[in-house]
């Protein structure tokens, strides 16, 4: 590859694009970028919280409850007045220092629960400022003697065992992460909390403690208002801001690649001393630079670090790589639109759906955006999570470019074959020997990983009884297709003799290649993804081969046998391949089921 030619082509590509954008489009693009530039810092500063001020509390400024209300996002203070609740101006009205009027509705009850937890959190914060911690947080222990073997109910809702080991089942606060303003009732309070605690709270700076709110303190706090959203909305919005401008970039990139193919415009470039790699790199560079120009300033604006920028940059690389491949396969701008929309939707879903569960669930680690979210929230950097989020994405992007380069030549670039036929041509192009079949299988493993991670992400919310069989089936389909589709492409494009011996050799190469390549799936262990029920179903096979020498041969034999079955069908015809592939999938499914049910 000649850097000088790459840069020359890149300069030409950038110049052409700038020259072809009309004034109206340029203004529209500038406005979009301006809006993003203005909205992003505003989002960071405002830190939007869903449900902010959703519960109205009628409380006087001088009332001790006013401070907890003012300090809580979900509560908003409204002026007290006659019949504030009855008139619908408030959900809860504070009467004096101990009385409450609550609207007779679910929202009213939720408002009261929120006020209660807000008050306790407020009081705890005040207490924390006291020098005498023991006085501020006195520990009360009730001791009662019981005979061994007698089960008694614990006061905190848990059950004490006869051994008295204290293992109760703590009431989970909505199953969410601990939130600053959410206090789990530790059981330290006595009774139902109806008393009007007048804790000292004399710290001048902290103000006066609010009395406890009457009501059932042990009632679960997972009311709508009490629920913290399970995802970091503001961080996700910011992450979205990263990816949104990428759509403009990939649309432009896809059009440019297709433009080379329309009327054979790219033919003279292929005759020039520039190599295919020079041409592709030169044409891609401006768009990669545009992606960097979009992501880096935003990253710095929102306080994200190098890891975030790198993660999003690699995601942008995958967007571009898949668009490149799609633009090589599309026969028209209409098909290109279909391709780019599909690319956008699938990759956005892959990036965003798991990232919603950042800090909640290990599934989030598969998305590069989870790195951004964690970074913005100030969480410590995790190498395992970073690798899982970026390695499959980066390698998949490289493989896409590799496959694309294989068909970036006259006889493939300008033909008007259907999209699947072109995809098969791309897969067949690098197959010049049996060994290359194995290597291509290894190269396809990142796509397998992405597809399986996506399947796990889509199904982890489904009950395990349904999700596990579905995941097992999907994994079998994905892996068997990945092991055989290029073998079929090789036979179809006359790369290999259609003999049984050749088919078996290709099956062996592909099976071994997959066995070695699937060790990439061990990345899932770094973040505990394989510990999930559905994660174990999807990735248990890779771990099995790595963890147990005795069982090492089992997945190897499976992959070689099923790949050989598919190859034997592929050497005959498309129909033969389809039938053999179905058989291989069933074999794989049976194996997976056996592993899950016996090995666990």
Partner 1 sequence: MPAARTNVLSVSSLHKTYGDVEAVRGIDFEVADGEVFGLVGPNGAGKTTTLKTLAGLLEPTSGEVVVNGYDAGDPEMRRTLGFLPEESPLYEDMTPRSYLRFFADLYDVDRETADERIAAALDRLDLDARDRPVGDFSKGMKRKVAIARSLVNDPDVLVYDEPASGLDPTTTNVVIEFTRDLAARGKTIVFSAHDLHHVESVCDRVAIVSEGTVAAKGTLDEIQAEHGRVEYRVFTDVEIPGAERLDADRGDGVRYRMRVDSMAAVEDVRERATEAGGNVVDIRTRESTLEDVFLAVTGGRA
Whether the CB-CB separation of 353 and 457 falls below 8 Å is answered with yes
What stretch of H or E contains 489?
helix 464-492
Cβ 580 to partner 1 shortest distance, Å: 23
Candidate segments 74-82, 91-99, 225-233, 272-280, binder of partner 1 by CB under 8 A: 272-280
Comparison of 216 and 410: residue with beta carbon closer to partner 1? 410
Cβ 572 to partner 1 shortest distance, Å: 16
Comparison of 10 and 304: residue with beta carbon closer to partner 1? 10
What stretch of H or E contains 467?
helix 464-492
For residue 334, what are the contacts with CB-CB under 8 A and spacing of at least 6? none
Using CB under 8 A as the binding rule, whether residue 531 contacts partner 1 is answered as no
Candidate segments 31-39, 258-266, 459-467, 544-552, binder of partner 1 by CB under 8 A: 258-266
Using CB under 8 A as the binding rule, whether residue 263 contacts partner 1 is answered as yes
**Residue whose pair of structure tokens reads 């389909």 in the numeric block:** 477
Which residue in the set 132, 147, 180, 411 belongs to the binding site for partner 1 (CB under 8 A)?
A: 411
Give the Cα separation of 211 and 126 in Å (integer): 12
Cβ 275 to partner 1 shortest distance, Å: 6
Using CB under 8 A as the binding rule, whether residue 273 contacts partner 1 is answered as yes
Comparison of 4 and 575: residue with beta carbon closer to partner 1? 4
229 secondary structure, DSSP code: P
Using CB under 8 A as the binding rule, whether residue 272 contacts partner 1 is answered as yes
Using CB under 8 A as the binding rule, whether residue 573 contacts partner 1 is answered as no
What stretch of H or E contains 298?
helix 276-302
Which residue in the set 141, 143, 163, 271 belongs to the binding site for partner 1 (CB under 8 A)?
A: 271
216 secondary structure, DSSP code: -
Using CB under 8 A as the binding rule, whether residue 269 contacts partner 1 is answered as yes
Cβ 274 to partner 1 shortest distance, Å: 5
Comparison of 273 and 378: residue with beta carbon closer to partner 1? 273
Q: Which two tokens stand for residue 172?
A: 């989970």
Give the Cα separation of 571 and 276 in Å (integer): 31
Comparison of 29 and 353: residue with beta carbon closer to partner 1? 29
Comparison of 4 and 148: residue with beta carbon closer to partner 1? 4
Alpha helix positions (H), 330-463:
333-355, 368-376, 383-406, 410-413, 419-428, 434-459
In terms of phi and psi (left: phi > 0; alpha: psi -120 to 50; beta: otherwise), the region of 567 is alpha
Using CB under 8 A as the binding rule, whether residue 172 contacts partner 1 is answered as no
Binding characters for partner 1, 390-409, by CB under 8 A (x = yes): -------------------x
Comparison of 142 and 411: residue with beta carbon closer to partner 1? 411
573 secondary structure, DSSP code: -
User: Which strands, in side-by-side order, build the sheet including 92-95?
Assistant: 75-78, 55-58, 92-95, 99-102
Comparison of 89 and 331: residue with beta carbon closer to partner 1? 331
Whether the CB-CB separation of 566 and 557 falls below 8 Å is answered with no
Cβ 9 to partner 1 shortest distance, Å: 8
Which residues lie across from 99 on neighbouring strands? 95
Comparison of 270 and 504: residue with beta carbon closer to partner 1? 270
Which residues lie across from 153 on neighbouring strands? 159
Return phi, psi of residue 132, to 5°: -90, 95
Cβ 262 to partner 1 shortest distance, Å: 9
Which residue in the set 189, 197, 218, 275 belongs to the binding site for partner 1 (CB under 8 A)?
A: 275
Comparison of 90 and 407: residue with beta carbon closer to partner 1? 407
Give the alpha-carbon dihedral of 218, 220, 224, 227, to 10 degrees. Answer: 100
Comparison of 76 and 493: residue with beta carbon closer to partner 1? 493
Comparison of 204 and 494: residue with beta carbon closer to partner 1? 494
- Residue 189: exposure state from Cβ atoms within 10 A (0-12, 13-18, ≥19): middle
Cβ 418 to partner 1 shortest distance, Å: 14
Cβ 497 to partner 1 shortest distance, Å: 15
Comparison of 404 and 540: residue with beta carbon closer to partner 1? 404
109: helix, strand or coil: helix
DSSP per-residue codes, 515-531 = HHHGGGGGHHHHTTGGG
Which residue in the set 87, 151, 264, 435 belongs to the binding site for partner 1 (CB under 8 A)?
A: 264
Which residue in the set 77, 94, 112, 274 belongs to the binding site for partner 1 (CB under 8 A)?
A: 274
Candidate segments 89-97, 209-217, 260-268, 379-387, binder of partner 1 by CB under 8 A: 260-268
Candidate segments 1-9, 52-60, 119-127, 556-564, binder of partner 1 by CB under 8 A: 1-9
Distance of CA 599 to the CA centre of its chain: 29
Q: How many residues sit in the footprint of partner 1 (CB under 8 A)?
A: 25
Give the Cα separation of 441 and 458 in Å (integer): 25
Candidate segments 93-101, 203-211, 267-275, 305-313, binder of partner 1 by CB under 8 A: 267-275
Q: Which two tokens stand for residue 205?
A: 């700076």
Using CB under 8 A as the binding rule, whether residue 493 contacts partner 1 is answered as yes
Q: Which two tokens stand for residue 108?
A: 């009213």
For residue 559, what are the contacts with CB-CB under 8 A and spacing of at least 6? 479, 483, 510, 511, 512, 514, 515, 518
Cβ 326 to partner 1 shortest distance, Å: 22
- By CB under 8 A, the residues from 8 to 27 that bind partner 1 are 8-9, 12, 16, 19-20
Give the Cα separation of 490 and 28 in Å (integer): 46
Which residues lie across from 94 on neighbouring strands? 100
Instruction: Write out the residues near partner 1 by the rule CB under 8 A.
Output: 5, 8-9, 12, 16, 19-20, 263-275, 409-411, 493-494
């Amino acid at each position: 590859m000649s850097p000088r030619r790459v840069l020359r082509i890149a300069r030409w590509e950038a110049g052409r694009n700038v020259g072809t954008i009309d004034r109206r489009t340029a203004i529209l693009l500038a406005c979009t970028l301006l809006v993003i530039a203005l909205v992003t810092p505003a989002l960071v500063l405002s830190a939007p919280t869903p449900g902010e001020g959703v519960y109205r509390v009628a409380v006087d400024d001088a009332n001790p409850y006013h401070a907890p209300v003012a300090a809580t996002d979900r509560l908003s203070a409204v002026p007290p007045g006659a019949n504030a609740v009855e008139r619908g101006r408030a959900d809860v009205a504070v009467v004096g220092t101990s009385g409450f009027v609550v609207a007779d509705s679910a929202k009213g009850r939720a408002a009261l629960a929120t006020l209660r937890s807000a008050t306790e959190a407020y009081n705890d914060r005040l207490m924390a400022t006291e020098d005498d911690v023991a006085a501020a947080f006195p520990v009360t222990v009730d001791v009662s003697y019981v005979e061994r073997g007698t089960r008694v109910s614990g006061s905190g809702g848990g059950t004490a065992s006869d051994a008295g080991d204290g293992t109760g089942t703590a009431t989970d606060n909505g199953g969410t992460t601990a939130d600053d303003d959410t206090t789990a009732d530790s059981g330290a309070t006595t009774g139902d909390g109806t008393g009007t605690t007048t804790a000292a709270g004399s710290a001048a700076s902290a103000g006066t403690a609010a009395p406890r709110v009457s009501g059932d303190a042990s009632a679960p706090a997972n009311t709508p208002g009490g629920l913290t959203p399970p995802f970091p909305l503001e961080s996700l919005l910011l992450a979205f801001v990263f990816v949104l401008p990428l759509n403009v970039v990939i649309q432009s990139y896809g059009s440019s690649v297709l433009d080379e193919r329309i009327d054979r415009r790219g033919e003279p470039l292929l005759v020039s001393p520039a190599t295919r790699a020079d041409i592709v790199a030169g044409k891609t560079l401006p768009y990669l630079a545009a992606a960097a120009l979009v992501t880096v300033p935003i990253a710095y604006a929102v306080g994200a670090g190098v890891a975030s920028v790198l993660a999003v940059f690699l995601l942008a690389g995958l967007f571009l790589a898949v668009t490149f491949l799609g633009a090589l396969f599309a026969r028209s701008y209409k098909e290109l639109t279909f391709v780019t929309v599909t690319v956008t939707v699938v990759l956005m879903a892959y990036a965003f759906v798991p990232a919603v569960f950042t800090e909640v669930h290990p599934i989030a680690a598969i998305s590069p955006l989870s790195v951004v979210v964690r970074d913005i929230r100030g969480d410590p950097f995790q190498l395992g999570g970073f690798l899982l989020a970026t390695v499959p994405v980066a390698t998949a992007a490289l493989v896409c470019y590799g496959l694309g380069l294989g068909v970036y030549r006259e006889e493939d670039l300008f033909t008007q074959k259907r999209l699947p036929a072109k995809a098969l041509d791309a897969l067949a192009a690098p197959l010049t020997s049996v060994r290359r079949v194995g290597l291509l299988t290894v190269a396809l493993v990142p796509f397998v990983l992405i597809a399986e991670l996506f399947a796990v992400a889509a199904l982890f919310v489904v009950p395990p009884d349904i999700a596990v069989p579905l995941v097992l089936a999907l994994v079998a389909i994905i892996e068997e297709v990945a092991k055989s589709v290029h073998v079929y492409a090789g036979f179809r494009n006359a790369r290999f003799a259609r003999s049984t011996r050749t088919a078996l050799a290709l099956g062996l190469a592909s099976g071994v290649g997959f066995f070695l390549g699937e060790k990439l799936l061990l990345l899932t262990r770094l973040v505990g993804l394989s510990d999930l029920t559905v994660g174990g179903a999807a990735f248990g096979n890779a771990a099995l081969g790595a963890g147990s020498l005795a069982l090492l041969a089992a997945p190897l034999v499976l992959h070689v046998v099923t790949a050989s079955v598919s190859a034997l069908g592929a050497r005959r015809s498309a129909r033969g391949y389809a039938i053999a592939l179905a058989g291989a999938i069933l074999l794989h499914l049976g194996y997976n089921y056996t592993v899950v049910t016996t090995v666990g």
